[in-house]
């Protein structure tokens, strides 16, 4: 099989992700960071067990540089990983040596698979960045076998999110040249990161106050990281939140309603690492 099966060109609405993940190709890989952050998140969110994935046929939709790809291929599963942007090249550099992986550059609306051909499907950190979130969710379901399981997440839409500074500045930043935006972020994060860290440590209101500064700060979440690692993750994820063309939050009843309309058995629908998580089984 070809190293990457390409169905779409790099030039599309997800161009910022291609730029981002080729700049930060290894940052979030557990094999690079030395921590199990990505692995822990994957199993916590999907509620799947590593030992149950071996031999399964799994579809990943929206791989980025392959942080979750790396986790899944190491289980011995047969993984088919779809990425719309040029980030597929970063994933190939990171994980292309695994014989149980096939990479595709394709739109989730036009995936080249037979219906009901996968035991499990996961789509994490992706749906909110597509033009029509509900349509994107529904586009995954035909490829899931009966009795198969799907795991998705979406950014949460609630009253708190209206105070998050990224939504104040995104109308400007998403229109900036990606190179210019990255340089801007790289210039201000080392200066404002200590301020953000101090705000986070204020009891009760610290996390709320820290949202005023458009920085992804993991100093409380990952206290074991070195300062250079925290800065690198901050630059990456701040670019990730300020650059995409689409950032469409959803509330929990909406996600649950989509799952019910799809006639899924709902395993879990609630809070997750990245907003709200929906886990379902196809009847």
105 close to 88: Cβ distance less than 8 angstroms: yes
45 close to 275: Cβ distance less than 8 angstroms: no
pLDDT at 10: 74
Q: Which one-letter DSSP state was computed for residue 250? A: B
pLDDT at 164: 85
- Geometric angle at alpha carbon 130, from 86 and 211, rounded to 5°: 95
Which alpha helices (H) appear in the chain, and where do they start and end? 15-23, 30-33, 37-46, 50-53, 67-73, 87-95, 133-140, 166-173, 178-200, 206-210, 227-242, 252-261
117 close to 143: Cβ distance less than 8 angstroms: yes
Residues of the chain with confidence (pLDDT) below 50: none
pLDDT at 9: 80
Q: Does domain 4-156+249-282 bear CATH number 3.40.50.150? A: yes
pLDDT at 143: 98
Contacts of 114 (CB under 8 A, 6+ apart): 143
Residues constituting the chain: 283
The torsion angle over the Cα atoms of residues 94, 99, 105 and 110, rounded to 10 degrees, is -140
pLDDT at 268: 98
Backbone angles phi, psi at 215, to 5 degrees: -140, 135
pLDDT at 2: 55
pLDDT in tens, 128-158: 999 999 999 999 999 999 999 999 999 998 8
The torsion angle over the Cα atoms of residues 231, 234, 236 and 241, rounded to 10 degrees, is -160
**Cα-only R_g, the chain:** 18
pLDDT at 14: 82
- Geometric angle at alpha carbon 137, from 50 and 16, rounded to 5°: 90
Give the count of beta carbons closer than 10 Å to the beta carbon of residue 236. 20
pLDDT in tens, 192-242: 999 999 999 999 898 888 989 999 999 999 999 999 999 999 999 999 999
Q: Where in the chain do CATH 3.40.50.150 domains reside?
A: 4-156+249-282
């Amino acid at each position: 099989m070809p190293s990457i099966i390409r169905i779409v060109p790099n030039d599309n609405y997800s161009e910022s992700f291609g730029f981002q993940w080729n700049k930060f190709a290894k940052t979030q890989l557990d094999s690079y960071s030395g921590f199990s952050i990505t692995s822990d998140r994957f199993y916590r969110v999907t509620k799947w067990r590593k030992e149950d994935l071996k031999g399964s046929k799994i579809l990943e939709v929206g791989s980025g540089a392959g942080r979750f790809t790396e986790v899944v291929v190491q289980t011995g599963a047969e993984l088919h990983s779809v990425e719309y942007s040029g980030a597929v090249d970063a994933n190939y550099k990171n994980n292309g040596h695994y014989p149980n992986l096939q990479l595709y550059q394709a739109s989730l609306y036009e995936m080249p698979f037979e219906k009901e051909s996968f035991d499990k499907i996961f789509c994490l950190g992706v749906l909110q960045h597509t033009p029509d979130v509900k349509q994107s969710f529904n586009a995954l379901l035909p490829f899931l076998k009966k009795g198969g399981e799907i795991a998705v997440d979406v950014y949460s839409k609630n009253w708190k999110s209206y105070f998050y500074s990224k939504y104040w500045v995104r109308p400007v930043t998403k229109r900036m040249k990606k190179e210019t935006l990255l340089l801007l972020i790289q210039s201000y994060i080392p200066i404002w990161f200590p301020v953000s860290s101090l705000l986070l440590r204020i009891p009760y209101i610290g996390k709320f106050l820290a949202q005023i500064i458009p920085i992804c700060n993991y100093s409380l979440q990952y206290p074991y990281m070195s300062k250079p690692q925290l800065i690198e993750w901050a630059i990456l994820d701040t670019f990730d939140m300020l650059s995409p063309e689409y950032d469409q939050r959803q509330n929990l009843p909406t996600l649950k309603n989509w799952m019910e309309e799809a006639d899924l058995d709902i395993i879990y629908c609630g809070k997750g690492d990245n907003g709200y998580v929906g886990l379902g089984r196809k009847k």
